[in-house]
Amino acid sequence: MEQLDVTPDRLAGTWHIVCSSFPMWQGDRRTDATFTYGPMPSGSSGAPRMSDDVGYRTRSGRHRHILGVDTRLTARPGSVYRWRGRGVLAVLSSEWEVREMGADDAWAVIVFSRSLVTPAGADVVVRADRLDDRAVIADALEAGVRHEAPRVPGFEPRDRPDPHPER
C-alpha cells in the first residue's frame, strides 16, 4: 500500500463523517458528526501539530464538541497522528492514520487504533464544501465498503446544510 504524506495543512478544514465503523456514530444518539482540523505551531519535538474538534449533535439537538490536539508521528511511515484530549480528556490518547485520500483531497479514510475507551475502526470523511458533489460522495461510500465502515445513520448525500453553523 502506498504511504501517504498528509500534513496538517492538507487536512485543515471541516470534514463530515459519512461512513464509520465506530459505534459512537452508528446509533441515533450522536448525529451530524464533523472533524475540524486547524494547523498549530510545531511542538517542542518539532513534529507538526493541529487542533482537532469533533463536533456532533445530540438526540435533543444540542451541539457538543470533543477537543484535542493531533501530533504527527514523523518517525512512523505514512501519515500517523497521536490524538490527545484537552481539558478533562487530557489523560486520553489514541493513534490514527490517513489511509486513503480522494481526488483533490475531497474525501479521506481515517483508520484509528484501539484506545483505553474506544475500539479500533475506520471513518470515511468528506470535506464540508464537497457534500453536494455526487461523484465525491459515491467514491467516499465505496471507500467505506473497502474499509468495512457502513454509512452513518441519517447521512443523505444531497443538499445537506452545515449542522454546526455557529462556527
Whole-number pLDDT of residue 92: 87
Q: Give the separation between CA 38 and CA 49, rounded to whole angstroms.
A: 9
Q: Give the separation between CA 109 and CA 17, rounded to whole angstroms.
A: 10
- pLDDT digits 0-9 by tens, 11-67: 999 999 999 999 999 988 999 999 999 999 987 788 999 999 999 999 999 999 999
Task: Map residue 45 onto helix, strand or coil.
Answer: coil
Of residues 160, 125, 119, 158, the one with CA closest to residue 139: 125
- For residue 80, the one-letter residue type is V
- In eight-state DSSP terms, residue 151 is B
pTM of the model: 0.89
- pLDDT digits 0-9 by tens, 68-88: 999 999 988 889 999 999 988
